[in-house]
Structure 1
Amino acid sequence: MRVLFPFLALYRRHAGQIALGMLLAIVTLLASIGLLSLSGWFLAGSALAGMAGLYSFNYMLPAAGVRGAAITRTAGRWAERVVSHDATFRVLQHLRIYTFQKILPLSPGALAGFRQAELLNRLVADVDTLDHLYLRVLSPLLSAFVVILVVTVGLSWLDASLALTLGAIMLAVLLIVPPLFYRAGKPVGEALTRLRADYRQHLATWLQGNAELTVYGAAARYRGQLDETERRWQQRQRQQANLAALAQGMLTLITGMAVTLILWLAAAGIGGDSHPGALIALFVFTTLAAFEALGPVAGAFQHLGQVIASAGRIADVIGRDPAVVFPAGGPAAGGDAALVLDAVGFRYPDQPLPAVAGVSLRINAGEHIAILGHTGSGKSTLLQLLTRAWDVDRGQILLNGQSLARWSEPALRAMMSVVPQRVHIFNATLRDNLLLGAAQADDARLAHILSLLGLDKLLENQGLDAWLGEGGRQLSGGEQRRLGIARALLHDAPLLLLDEPTEGLDAATERRVLDALHQLGRAKTLVIITHRLQGLDMMDRIYVMDRGGIAEQGSHATLMAEKGRYFRYHSPGGV
């Protein structure tokens, strides 16, 4: 239960709306009880009065009360649904933002042990499960408790002993049944949460790797594992459904026994009246209606097992310490950007060999350099160290003479524009995706950048209002990469870091993109990570990496003249 406390604290922001939703739920329950109780008493009283009571029995006032209770119940139910669901969605939104804010500083170091599908499941499915805490646990329990108090106090005006008997039975049900089924349902809820995550992770892996599984003859075996996980998941779902049925059956039995007891006690007299007449129906129907308020309570704590398991899975991620911690203050952003790497070394966790080993280089402000090398040579790792996604194990990296560890995150991000290998396109318009780089840019500037990068055709038809779809599915891989470059150029930082910016582009488009980078980045420091050879003659200096270190460095002409590794790359069969 303690794992829920941090998430319960988030509910305070929406306490007013949550309280209003609970109040409306209580009013609706009381109106429902009043409707059934008053209707039962009215019908019984009318039957006893018969034709002789046409002039002595007050038909109008009870009828008005029945109609008023019916209207109140209908309006209250509608208002409670609107307010409660709105509060639930707002709480869910807050939970997602809170969880994402906690996860973001952990990337990538503290999240290296998690698969992407597993992280996504915790961020989406497990956070969604936490909304049960309000709708299926807190609200039903509090509403039932208030209803018990109101019914007991209300009936005590007619007969205190009967009212206290009914109140004691209902309170005992409230205190005993939910914890009982919580203990019975907790293992099932935990297993459901775990199996749901396993199934989604296996399904994502099976879909993504289906081609490889088919080629190597492992598709049937992997599908069998997926089917087995689904079978165990469905088995747990049946167990939970059986528990829910048992809880409702037990509540129905208790309700029948309570009604029989109240009927027997009321028949002996109510409030000293040995012939209570229609008041017997009032107590009986009040008992029936009041126990309806306990209906959701019977199964409320079954969901608590899933909620606690999901909260624990989320806390397991967000409770980790980030691998990189940024200071609150430090150097101010602005001006040019010069980089110095001094004997930098780095090894990924649980890896035997270093990814970067003793790299030293100096990049002056305004220089354009390329870092070349085959896959696995350490190029992309070096870029992650420059952006401080990881901290170096040895040596140091200086930006404008200050260690990266001294820069605050906002200042460091303002100093650099980064284009990673995988560019994410958001499910929004073309304009929205571009404005991530410069929120104040006007449409003319956005169109100009797109034109320089050869993306003019994206402006056809709907122009900047064109919807790009989830993950930019309407764009080719090359268009997505150029859109990422456009965002980086719009950011207008003094340091441009690009990882394989021309991957997947044809030769003509690649030359156009490189020309645009050199033109717009003329006054900027430009670092391009690549294994492609076109445009390297435009660079001030080229570094060739191999096995995590710098194997060669110099200008294009110098390296070609030396006829070393760089020269062999340009030869037939090179990289």
Structure 2
Amino acid sequence: MTPPSPDSSPPPERPRSALAVLGTYLGPLKWQVVTLAALLLTGTALNLLLPQLLRRFVDSAKLGAGADVSLLVGLAGLYIALAVGVQLMTAGATYVGARVGWTATNRLRADLMAHLLSLDMREHKERTPGEMIERIDGDVTALSNFFSQFAVRVFGAALLLTGALVMFFREDWRVGLGVTLFTLVTLGAMNRVRKLGVEPTRLEREASARLFGFVEERLSGLDDIRSLGAGEHHLRRFLQTQRSFFTRSVTSWRRRSVVWQLSMLLFAIGYVGVLTAAVGLYAAGAISLGTAFLMYQYMTLVEEPIDQLTQQLQDLQKAGASLGRVSELLALKSAVLGGPAPLPPGPLALDFDHVTFSYAPEDPAAQPVLRGVSFHLPAGQTLGLLGRTGSGKTTLTRLIARLYDATQGEIRLGGVNVTHTPLHDLRRRVAVVTQDVQLFQASVRDNLSFFDPEVSDAAVEAALREVGLGPWLARLESGVRTPLPTGSLSAGEAQLLAFARVLLRDPSLIILDEPSSRLDPATEALLTAAMTRLLSGRTAIIIAHRLDTVARADRILVLGDGQILEHGARDALAHDPNSHYAALLRAGVLDEGEGVLA
């Protein structure tokens, strides 16, 4: 199936409660559920018939020399045939149940992934990627294991248990009443004990999420950890995190194990009771020897489903905790929502109108990162964005792409408020190239197309040649289908690949975040040529640390402490001896430390 678009606007309504999640993902599989029910009913009926055959066989065999051998052979053959039928029904039910469970949870996993991608950056900053992985994979896998066996083991066990109790009543109402009371007491006791494991299981899943997050963060920062010789400290911290997970896992297991321990104790009592009743009735001549065997067999049919329920109750504890966490995640709502107004075609003019932004608007003590920013960038022109570290340059560009929304003020593209246009349209028309380019362990074409099958190989090749990577492409053994291991490219090649990605999308506004800050002069010259081709006919914003990077910009905007220090045409500012930009030109560098931009 095709998962919903993560940037669709407005986002699809998703279930919030645990029961709603179950209904949403199991409801569409009703015909498979009907097939599953038919298999379970048939298998249960055959299972209940087997002790009846056994009773008749025992009573017939008890006659000794007078027994009808052909009847015994027929009963034995029928017993074997029905037993095989029970196994076939069970196998079929297991297959259909697994198919139902995995189909439902695969849909849930896809929707959960799309939902996470649709959340705004504020939500992602509050959780580590490792925690997100645990939610999508760990929690949903726990649900998959539960769903795939729930119908077969729980529903089937309930059918078998009910049938066995009915059969007890048919044989002797007193024994049936006693076994029924025993079953009710056993199920009630186990249900009370089961609740003891819910909270420890939830804490275990949270500890697992923290462990995943810790590992992901350390692997991401492996270069810094090695270069600074901090491996021992991080290993010690890992052991502390692992110890917390282990402790909570053991505590959770102990609480869950009480269920089956109690079950074993109660069934020891139950078997003694049934065997005592059977022996007493047989001794009194009230039942035959075959009926005594039948009662024992039906008691095993009572134990088997309760044992299944006992095991599933432990899985239910895990699934319940996971389902609650998944429901909480699906209930999160993105504050960044789109509207119906389309953006006009062609290059887009950009307007900031008294824009103020804070990463913590709910905290009155938090200082805004941008304060009252207003400027106009005509369509098709390039803006060089300068300023000291922390002045708000990157934040300003994030607001354009709506990774965050302005706290106050308005941002317009082509005269349209960015909050009024569909998110998928906005992010298709606005492209951002960051300083750290993310590459995937996939083919060259998948790295450029972001796994879009509709992008042709020819289009990918054309984009690579357009940014000057034609010679590099010619050296690849399988062309654009060549696998591209992460870390195999230089910083300059990675930036050029990012430019090729943008060309494939053909956006109307491009944001380049410090594209040449880590490059040597020769590579920067190649990048500058590619940048010229990339920006032709498009509106662009370039965040730069080097003067050469903004030498071809039409306009310059200098930020300082979240406010505009100056803004104007580049040539005019260059010839104004009192401008910040002219001071930078005289200094020959973009000094982000003390001095020129202070």
Q: Answer whether TM exceeds 0.5 for this pair.
A: yes
Residue of structure 2 in register with 1:330 after alignment: 341
Residue of structure 2 in register with 1:391 after alignment: 405
Counterpart secondary structure, 1:392:
coil
Q: 1:200 deviation in Å? A: 2.7
How far apart in 2 are the matches of 1:455 and 1:21? Answer: 57
- 1:17 correspondence with 2:32: yes
2:194–2:259: 8 Å Cα contact kept in structure 1? no
Counterpart secondary structure, 1:539:
coil
Correspondence list, 1:342-357, <5 A = 342-349=353-360, 350=363, 352-357=366-371
Of the three residues 404, 423, 430, the one matched with 2:444 is 430
Correspondence list, 1:368-447, <5 A = 368-436=382-450, 440-447=454-461
Q: 1:560 deviation in Å? A: 4.1
Residue of structure 1 in register with 2:482 after alignment: 466
How far apart in 1 are the matches of 2:285 and 2:567? Answer: 106
Counterpart code for 2:480: L
How far apart in 2 are the matches of 1:68 and 1:281? Answer: 20
Q: 1:76 deviation in Å? A: 3.3
Q: 1:74 deviation in Å? A: 3.4
Counterpart code for 1:17: Q
Change (3 A) 1:248 1:354: closer
Change (3 A) 1:20 1:238: farther
- 1:512 correspondence with 2:542: no
Of the three residues 107, 112, 124, the one matched with 1:99 is 112
Q: 1:243 deviation in Å? A: 4.2
Q: 1:557 deviation in Å? A: 4.6
How far apart in 2 are the matches of 1:20 and 1:45? Answer: 37
Aligned length: 567
Gaps of 5+ in 2: 1-15, 592-598
How far apart in 2 are the matches of 1:258 and 1:152? Answer: 13
How far apart in 2 are the matches of 1:426 and 1:510? Answer: 24
How far apart in 2 are the matches of 1:380 and 1:447? Answer: 31
Change (3 A) 1:302 1:482: same
Change (3 A) 1:5 1:274: closer
Q: 1:451 deviation in Å? A: 1.7
Gaps of 5+ in 1: none
Q: 1:338 deviation in Å? A: 1.1
Of the three residues 153, 168, 183, the one matched with 2:166 is 153
- 1:179 correspondence with 2:191: yes
- TM-score, normalization: structure 2? 0.83
User: Matched residues, percent identical?
Assistant: 24
Q: 1:384 deviation in Å? A: 1.0
- TM-score, normalization: structure 1? 0.86
- 1:339 correspondence with 2:350: yes
- 1:310 correspondence with 2:322: yes
- 1:296 correspondence with 2:311: no
How far apart in 2 are the matches of 1:81 and 1:170? Answer: 25
Q: 1:463 deviation in Å? A: 1.9
Residue of structure 1 in register with 2:21 after alignment: 7
Residue of structure 2 in register with 1:494 after alignment: 508
How far apart in 2 are the matches of 1:367 and 1:334? Answer: 16
Residue of structure 2 in register with 1:234 after alignment: 246
Output one character per residue of 1:249-283: Cα deviation in whole Å (capped at 9) or x when no partner: 3323333333333333334548x973512222122
Q: 1:365 deviation in Å? A: 1.6
Counterpart secondary structure, 1:388:
coil
How far apart in 1 are the matches of 2:224 and 2:438? Answer: 25
Of the three residues 490, 510, 526, the one matched with 2:540 is 526
Q: 1:386 deviation in Å? A: 0.9
Judge which range, 548-557 or 405-414, deviates more.
548-557
2:157–2:306: 8 Å Cα contact kept in structure 1? yes
- 1:71 correspondence with 2:46: no
Of the three residues 198, 206, 219, the one matched with 2:210 is 198
Of the three residues 378, 381, 406, the one matched with 1:367 is 381
Counterpart secondary structure, 2:397:
helix
Counterpart code for 2:348: A
Judge which range, 44-53 or 380-389, deviates more.
44-53
Change (3 A) 1:30 1:164: farther
Q: 1:77 deviation in Å? A: 3.9
How far apart in 2 are the matches of 1:88 and 1:265? Answer: 42
Change (3 A) 1:241 1:306: closer
Output one character per residue of 1:286-310: Cα deviation in whole Å (capped at 9) or x when no partner: 2113311221312433344443433
Counterpart code for 1:330: A
Counterpart secondary structure, 2:500:
helix
1:453–1:516: 8 Å Cα contact kept in structure 2? yes
How far apart in 1 are the matches of 2:46 and 2:555? Answer: 80
Judge which range, 378-387 or 248-257, deviates more.
248-257
Residue of structure 2 in register with 1:58 after alignment: 71
Correspondence list, 1:103-142, <5 A = 103-131=116-144, 133-135=146-148, 140-142=153-155
Q: 1:435 deviation in Å? A: 3.3
Residue of structure 1 in register with 2:261 after alignment: 249
Counterpart secondary structure, 1:376:
coil
Residue of structure 2 in register with 1:81 after alignment: 94
Counterpart code for 1:169: F
Change (3 A) 1:275 1:519: closer
Counterpart code for 1:467: P
Counterpart code for 2:200: V
2:94–2:149: 8 Å Cα contact kept in structure 1? no
Counterpart secondary structure, 1:326:
coil
How far apart in 1 are the matches of 2:180 and 2:146? Answer: 26
1:511–1:534: 8 Å Cα contact kept in structure 2? no
1:435–1:441: 8 Å Cα contact kept in structure 2? yes
1:496–1:524: 8 Å Cα contact kept in structure 2? yes
How far apart in 1 are the matches of 2:540 and 2:118? Answer: 26
Correspondence list, 1:552-567, <5 A = 552-554=566-568, 556-562=570-576, 565-567=580-582
Counterpart secondary structure, 1:359:
strand
Change (3 A) 1:258 1:27: farther
1:372–1:379: 8 Å Cα contact kept in structure 2? yes
1:17–1:83: 8 Å Cα contact kept in structure 2? yes
Counterpart code for 1:377: S
Q: 1:385 deviation in Å? A: 1.0
Counterpart code for 2:307: G
Residue of structure 2 in register with 1:259 after alignment: 271
- 1:544 correspondence with 2:555: no
How far apart in 1 are the matches of 2:402 and 2:176? Answer: 68
Change (3 A) 1:169 1:138: farther
Q: 1:312 deviation in Å? A: 3.8
Q: 1:400 deviation in Å? A: 1.6
Q: 1:108 deviation in Å? A: 1.0
1:341–1:359: 8 Å Cα contact kept in structure 2? yes
Counterpart code for 1:483: L
1:38–1:62: 8 Å Cα contact kept in structure 2? no
Change (3 A) 1:484 1:4: same
Q: 1:383 deviation in Å? A: 0.8
How far apart in 2 are the matches of 1:425 and 1:21? Answer: 45
How far apart in 2 are the matches of 1:445 and 1:211? Answer: 35
Counterpart secondary structure, 1:114:
coil
Output one character per residue of 1:455-509: Cα deviation in whole Å (capped at 9) or x when no partner: 343562122223346xx45545544443332222111222222323345444344
Output one character per residue of 1:106-138: Cα deviation in whole Å (capped at 9) or x when no partner: 311344433333333333323333335525666
